Amino acid sequence: MGYARTALLLAALTGLFLACGWLIGGQTGMLFAFGLALVMNVGSYWFSDKLVLRMYGAQAVENTELNAIVAELAARGGMPVPKVYLIDSDQPNAFATGRNPENAAVAATSGLMQRLNRDEVRAVLAHELGHVKNRDSLTMTITAVLAGAIGMLAQSLFFFGGLGRDRNSPLGGIGALLVMILAPLAAMLVQMAISRSREYEADKAGAELSGAPRALASALHKISNAAAAIPNPRAEQNPASAHLFIINPLHGTGADNLFSTHPSTENRIARLLEMEGGTNESVSPAPAPQQSARPQSTRRGRSVLPETGTARPQRGPWG
């Protein structure tokens, strides 16, 4: 049902995009919209992963505990081992990107390493590998590109005569004005619906891959609370990428409404606990392992986890 719903929503988004082109310039406009969508999607297919990693200043790491966890989970899932990146951000969060499992990358923030224990970090990485295995990164990239293009086309109604007397536009002034306002809104709603659908599927895949749905529930609880209090400046500057993260980095609200890129954390936790046969009672953080080791990176001979002079929360398994 999750795949069928996503396919229907993508079809609706594509149809809306072509309709905007038709409303702008009739059949010629629709053909132009199709060509534009094709060019934008080809570009996003090949370069979107590199752009988003650069956007967040992600640094590739090797020979760390993160790499070991990702390799172990990939082996369990029978999939290629993605590249691993670390983002210098105090907000705990993570995302996956890449056009397919063979060219995928998983990125985690330093805050995730500092605030979650090993079982929780492993469950979060399993969630991201679930996105990779389901090819959600490609789906969400295409969705974001189409939604952005719809906004551009709707605004072009004004510049190309949709509000005037252009014979190529099937609508007059009032109709074109409604399209200019409602088309981007409809595209945003479809984009958010797709994002929320894929998050539920990745939660399920991550819980199955890690074998620890309660650890993932605990991680979502911690990340959601921290995201409400700890800003992510890079995400604030690039809000269109918020849907990539396991928890919305822009705010900490849990309302499961039409304008949320993520399902409510409470709903996600409830589903995970049902997988384990648990109840909807509140989730308490899973205990940290007795022994821990801070991962060290070979990148440029330095530790990838930044040292700060500020007080830290109770340490997780990373030191």
Query: pLDDT digits over 5-57, tens only?
Result: 667 766 777 777 787 777 766 777 778 878 877 777 777 778 878 888 998 99
8 Å CB contact between 85 and 125 = no
Number of domains in the chain: 1
Known binding-site residue numbers for Zn(2+): 127, 131, 199
Residue 191 has pLDDT above 50, yes or no: yes
Task: Please identify which of the residues 102, 128, 266, 276 carries the catalytic annotation.
Answer: 128
223 lies in some domain: yes
295 lies in some domain: no
Residue ranges making up the domain that contains 179: 2-282
149 lies in some domain: yes
Known binding-site residue numbers: 127, 131, 199
* Known catalytic membership, residue 274: no
Query: pLDDT digits over 129-153, tens only?
Result: 999 998 887 777 677 667 767 777 7
290 lies in some domain: no
Q: How confident is the model at residue 170 (pLDDT cuts 50, 70, 90)?
A: low
Q: What is the number of residues in the chain?
A: 319
133 lies in some domain: yes
CA distance 208 to 317: 23
CA distance 195 to 312: 32
Residue 302 has pLDDT above 70, yes or no: no
305 lies in some domain: no
303 lies in some domain: no
Query: pLDDT digits over 72-95, tens only?
Result: 999 999 999 999 999 999 999 999
Q: What is the pTM of this model?
A: 0.73
Mean pLDDT, to the nearest integer, of 99-127?
95
Question: Tell me, what's the pLDDT at 205?
Answer: 95
317 lies in some domain: no
**Burial (CB count <10 Å: 0-12, 13-18, 19+), residue 234:** middle
